[in-house]
Amino acid sequence: MGFISQHPVLVASIVKAAVLLFIVMTALAYLTWAERKIIAHIQSRWGPYFVGAHGLLQPLADGLKFLFKEDITPPVTDRLVYTLAPFLALSLSLTAIALIPFGPPSVLLPLVGQQAWSVTDLNIGLLLVFAITSMGVYGVALAGWSSNSKYPLMGGLRSSAQMISYEVSLTMSVVGVVLVAGTLSFNEIIQRQSGAFWHWNIFGLQHGAVPQIIGFLCYFTAAIAETNRVPFDLPEAETELVAGFHTEYSSFKFAMFFMAEYANMITVSCLATILFFGGWLSPFPSSWTWQIFLPGAGLVLLGIYCAYDTLTEMRGIARLQLAVVTLLALGGGLLCLIPAVAGVIQGPFWFTTKVLLILFFYIWMRGTLPRFRYDQLMSFGWKLLLPVSLANLVVTAFVMIWPWLRHG
Amino acid sequence: MILPLIIFSLCALLTVGGAVALILSREPIHSALALILVMVSLAVLYLLLGAPFVAAVQIIVYAGAVMVLFVFVIMLLNMGVEEQTDFSKIAKFVGVPLGLVLIVWIAHWMFHAQAGSAMGTGATMVPSSTRELSTQLFRQYLFPFEATSILILIALLGALVMARKEE
């Protein structure tokens, strides 16, 4: 107790970082499951189905498989860089998530009095996230180079060029939001959008704001390219480059690249939520008091669906597994219907809902669009995306200073 | 508190170690990695000094953009191990003594400067927040700022012209 009361910030930060790491790792695992399921359903397949009910234990099986596989390091690689690259990729992408606020700063932890829903609350949070994600290219580039092999090198080169090109548009498309908010702090950017959903930056229908829908489209396109996802997954285009930069990697080092990619997806989705969709704010006006029961009601509905599925579709061990999920959802839902609990979890609930919707959109794109050709990718980035995001910035700036120009 | 001291010592060690590794390593890509290490630990030092904006910009510009280009070029040319020449005579008889003199001079200056006075004036003069920094940059130092950007633009155009010369 003495140590906690003497170093509240340190203790709270370490605990929050550990909890966040656990949550993010679980989310990463289930994001791979969700991706396989959604892509499968887009292509009229079932996806993972046999390991656990609805394949719910598939991520665990995959993780164990990666752990127990032989870790092969080709003899001609640059050992130091080859080992460093996956660690760099994963640690950088996980660090960026630590800067994201998942709920309002007003909710405090008991005992230490620190913010409950964010690990840190920096006044230059946005800048620091961009700083960390701009380093992300090293993981891919160095992996490609150190493998000392043709296809990985091509993948590494492609990714460096692609990430440098699209980072410019990514940053430019966000500056519009920064102009409107007048701050680089995530919590202030979010609070600036409070009201209801038409106050969010993407619609911008409030005094002193400019709609950022073009900014959002530019941001999202650039973000997909930054995270090397379809239709911009040239660095690992399997039809051309075997597996691109991670061709030579095996076992857990490969899994680390895999996790880093999904962690980056989560980061850019969180950023999009904060910058354009009001972060942890509810989409409804605050006068609608019944909305605090929505999280609980949603979970209870999920539980009822699971219960129906358990009783009608599942057999044997899968029925037991899904029954556990049902109980968890129903219990959690009922817990969230208690007004005191419901008030506390509002922020994270809306934040998570928005992030999940954006991630679904991400995966949907993968199931729908074919891959760009490399020259198309470059000319698209430099000749279309960058001018449009610059134009968005200039227009936003002019609208912002228009009253000042007119009245002097 | 002891935590800032630990972080400072660690980052100072990493900065110096990275700088030494940058010079001594024979693989260009290892040198580039050492330089990235130097840049990042410098950014952490800026953070400790209470200049988060400078720290973030240091990472974005140097570690995130400049060094990516370095690494890209090294990868593109697929450079092998560098040849190392013998210690040159000029370095041996002029460089090493002058370097030692410089180190002694800086150490002397640091030990005899009044403790806290340099930092105290620095903290009041240097703007720390983004808002203060941008206000000063675009009011007081507008001309030097714009002149620098024009200079960079000229350098950029010059590089383009030189690169396209052979067509």
The average pLDDT across A231-255 equals 75
Do B73 and B110 fall within a single domain? no
What are the percentages of helix, strand and coil residues in chain B, rounded to 5? 80, 0, 20
Residue B165 reports pLDDT greater than 50: yes
pLDDT score for B127: 63
Residue corresponding to tokens 């005094």: A207
Residue A337 near residue A293 (C-beta atoms within 8 A): yes
Single out the residue of A211, A137, A207, A206 nearest to residue A170, CA to CA: A137
Containing structural domain, residue B135: 127-167
Average pLDDT, stretch A159-184?
86
- Read off the pLDDT of residues A69-105 as tens digits, 9 standing for 90 and up: 887 777 777 778 888 888 988 998 888 888 888 888 8
- Residue A306 pLDDT: 85
For the cut 70, the answer to whether the pLDDT of residue B157 exceeds it is: yes
Mean pLDDT of chain A: 84
**Which residue has better confidence, A112 or A103?**
A103
The span from the CA of B160 to the CA of B163, in Å, is 5
CA angle (A139 as vertex; A135, A141 as ends), nearest 5:
100
- Cβ pair A108, A116 in contact under 8 A: yes
What SS3 class is residue A108? strand
Question: How far is the C-alpha of A178 from the C-alpha of A225, rounded, in Å?
Answer: 22
Residues B106 and B155 in one domain: no
Same domain, B8 and B59: yes
% residues pLDDT > 70 (chain B): 83
Residues B51 and B2 occupy one common structural domain: yes
A265-324 per-position pLDDT tens digit: 999 999 999 999 888 888 888 778 788 888 888 888 888 888 888 888 777 788 888 888
Nearest-angstrom CA–CA distance, B62 and A247: 29
**Which chain A residue has its CA at the smallest distance from B1's CA?**
A7
Segment B43-84, tens digit of pLDDT? 888 888 878 888 888 888 888 888 888 888 887 777 666 676
pTM beyond cutoff 0.80: yes
Taking CB atoms and an 8 Å cutoff, what residues of chain A touch B40? Answer: 135
Of A84, A132, A153, the CB nearest to B75: A153
Q: Which of B27, B57, B60 to mutate to test the interface with A (most CBs of A within 10 A)?
A: B60
Statement to judge: residues B138 and B94 lie in one domain: no
Q: Mean pLDDT throughout B21-42? A: 87
A248 with A389: CB under 8 angstroms?
A: no
- What does the block give as tokens for B6? 């630990």
Query: Looking at the 3D structure of chain B, how many domains does it have?
Result: 3
- Which residue reads 């701050």 in tokens? A183
The per-residue pLDDT for A356 is 92
Predicted confidence at residue B123, as pLDDT, reads 46
Do B160 and B98 share a structural domain? no
Pair B10, B51 in one domain = yes
> For residues A189 and A74, which has the higher predicted lDDT (pLDDT)?
A189
pLDDT in tens, A368-393: 888 888 888 888 888 999 999 999 99
Q: What pLDDT sits at residue B120?
A: 45
Tokens found for residue A280: 């942890």
pLDDT in tens, B118-146: 444 444 555 667 788 888 888 888 999 99
- My answer on whether B97 and B146 are in the same domain is no
**pLDDT higher at A217 or B85:** A217
If asked whether residues B69 and B17 sit together in one domain, one would say yes
Supply the CATH number for residue B1's domain: 1.20.120.1200
Phi, psi of A258 (to 5 degrees): -60, -45
Both tokens of residue A53?
A: 């009910």
Q: Which residues of A touch B29 (CB under 8 A)?
A: 78, 81, 142, 145-146
* CB A225, CB A235: distance < 8 Å: no
- A257 pLDDT more than 80: yes
One domain, residues B20 and B75? yes
Q: Is A81 in CB contact (< 8 Å) with chain B?
A: yes
pLDDT at A155: 81
Question: CA B119: distance to chain centroid?
Answer: 20
Sign (positive or negative) of CA dihedral B130, B136, B139, B145: negative
- Separation between Cα atoms, residue A46 and residue B46, nearest integer Å: 53
In one-letter notation, the amino acid at residue A241 is L
* All residues at 6 or more sequence positions from A34 whose CB lies less than 8 Å from its CB, including other chains: A359, A360, A363
Q: To the nearest whole percent, how much of chain A has pLDDT over 90? A: 9
Q: Do A81 and B30 touch (CB under 8 A)?
A: yes
Q: What's the rounded Cα separation, in Å, for the pair A220 and A81?
A: 31
d(CA A148, CA A74) in angstroms, rounded, equals: 9
Q: How far is residue A397's CA from residue A391's CA, in Å, rounded to a whole number?
A: 10
Confidence band, pLDDT 50/70/90 cuts, at residue A238: low
B141 shares its domain with B76: no
In this structure, are B91 and B103 located in the same domain? yes
Pick from A92, A124, A147 the residue to mutate for testing the B interface (most B CBs within 10 Å): A124
> Which residues make beta-bridge pairs with A206?
none
Q: Quick one: DSSP state of residue A289?
A: G
